[in-house]
Structure formats: C-alpha cells, structure tokens
Amino acid sequence: MKLSLKEWNQKLRDSSIEEISGLLKLLASDERQGAKKLFKTYTSRLLEAEAELRRLEIMCSFEKQCAANGKKLIAGVDEVGRGPLAGPVVAAAVILPEGYILEGINDSKKLSEKKREDLYKRIVEDAVCYSIHLVQPDKIDEINIYQASKLAMSEAVCKLKVEPDQLLIDAMEIALPIDQLKIIKGDEKSISIAAASIIAKVTRDRYMKKLDQMYPHYGFKTNMGYGTKEHLEALRTFGATEIHRKTFSPVGEIIKFTGSE
C-alpha cells in the first residue's frame, strides 16, 4: 500500500539514521512533488547526521587510544576565563563513561548559551564524576594568570571523587603524578576536554551573572568580565572593584589614574 505524504513524513521522523537510509531508497521512486521534497529534506538531514557522527567519532579518538592502552578512568581537563579583566579563572575536570557520545558536544566557545546549558545538564547527569575549581583575582594577581590556570586545573583534578588514571588536557600539563596528554585545541578534538570546557564555561558565566547583581555598573552579565567598551567606561567612572584583576592592563593603569584601589 502506498503511504500518504503525511505517513511518510511521520515514518521518517520516527526512524533512526540507519532506517532513514533504507526508507529514502524506497521514497526515491515516488514521483509526487511532496515526496520529492521529503526526499530532499531527509537526505540533507541524513548527510548532516552522518557528518555529526563522524565528527563525534573523531572526538572520541584520544579516549579510545587511552582505553586501548589500559586506561579506565580518563579525565578531560580545561579552563576558561584567562582573558577577562574581572572575575575568576575556572577549571573543570570530567570523567565520562567509557564509549560515551553526546550529540552536539563541542568546544564551549562554538556553542550558543542555550546549547551549552542543555549540554551541561546532560554532562553532569551522565558523568562518572566531575569537579570545578575557581581561582579568584587576588590569587591571579599574586601568581599570574598562567600559573593560576594551572592551579585551577590541578585543584579540579584533585577534587574528583574518583581518581583518574589518565588526564587529557587542553594545551597544558600540570604538576600531578598522573599520565597526561597535552592536546592543542583539545576542546574541539576530545569529547572529555569538550565536556570540561562546557562545565567550566557555564559555571563561570553563572558566577559572573551573580557578580553583576553585586556590581551592576560593569555589565558582567553580558561581558563576563571581558574588556568591552561598556566595561572600560565603567572602570573609568566607578573605578576597580575587589573582583578586578589589578595586574591586568588597562585595570592597573586606571587604578593609578583614578586612585580607585
């Protein structure tokens, strides 16, 4: 019996990627204009889904390599917030279940706020364990941002409830006696590091929005502490606060000029 276009649409909508591929072969011979439109739409979706699956498989390659070497508890580690003039640097460490795949996961910088929030919820629900550590501006000023980033990462790993036997870290190594793999642009190449980047980014953004309520003049809820025009104008008008990084330019120069410290 020939399916109606509505039935075809519903059948395709309810099918897996593998099933859609077979259904499209049947639909290809349907000469109805609506059928041709459905064929084109779902062929495009199938190609997108297959491309996403290939991307995710590549993102799992470091984890598979470590697992093949006998590693069972692989932690991805990343940090966010090196560049802002205010607020903490935040690091996260995440151990995902073996073979874990999450559609849409990527470097947190490449995702919308809504997508990050959605993925954050899934990651914290599905992870074997995860942890977060914040290093505040006074410590950043004391030891510099590079060392503060390493400190945040180390503390995040140490706070994990389950001790990892392998670390995958975005472009950095830390002083812990655990096997480590430094991966340049790791947040787009490793699913574990991408998960950590999302946890760290969402955590920091939420934190900065709370700081915005305490310091409403600086626009933290939108600029997240970065040196936007609005933020710099507020610094010149109202001076620096205790959550500004005094060693960062131009905060230091503004403090000297306004005497706001």
Q: What is the pLDDT along the chain (261 residues), one digit of tens a residue?
A: 588 899 888 988 888 878 888 888 889 888 889 989 998 988 888 888 888 889 999 999 999 999 999 999 999 999 999 999 999 999 999 999 999 999 999 999 999 999 999 999 999 999 999 999 999 999 999 999 999 999 999 999 999 999 999 999 999 999 999 999 999 999 999 999 999 999 999 999 999 999 999 999 999 999 999 999 999 999 999 999 999 999 999 999 888 766 555
Q: Quick one: CA dihedral 63, 61, 133, 129, positive or negative? A: negative
Q: Supply the pLDDT for residue 231.
A: 96
- Return the bridge partners of 89, or none: 135
The rounded distance, in Å, linking the Cα atoms of 203 and 117 is 10
Long-range contacts of 217-226 (CB under 8 A, 24+ apart): 218/86, 220/86, 220/87, 224/81, 224/84, 224/87, 225/81, 225/84, 225/85, 225/86, 225/87, 226/83, 226/84, 226/85
Q: Supply the pLDDT for residue 240.
A: 94
Tokens of residue 105, six digits = 């996961």
Is 79 known as a binding-site position? Answer: yes
Tokens of residue 194, six digits = 């991408």
Phi-psi region of 42 (alpha: psi -120 to 50; beta: other; left: phi over 0): alpha
Q: Are 95 and 160 in contact (CB under 8 A)?
A: yes
The H or E element that residue 169 is part of is: strand 166-170
Q: Supply the pLDDT for residue 54.
A: 93
Could you check whether the bond before residue 137 is cis, i.e. omega within 30 degrees of 0? no
CA 115 to chain CA centroid, nearest Å = 10
The rounded distance, in Å, linking the Cα atoms of 259 and 218 is 18
Q: Supply the pLDDT for residue 259.
A: 57
Q: Are 92 and 78 in contact (CB under 8 A)?
A: yes
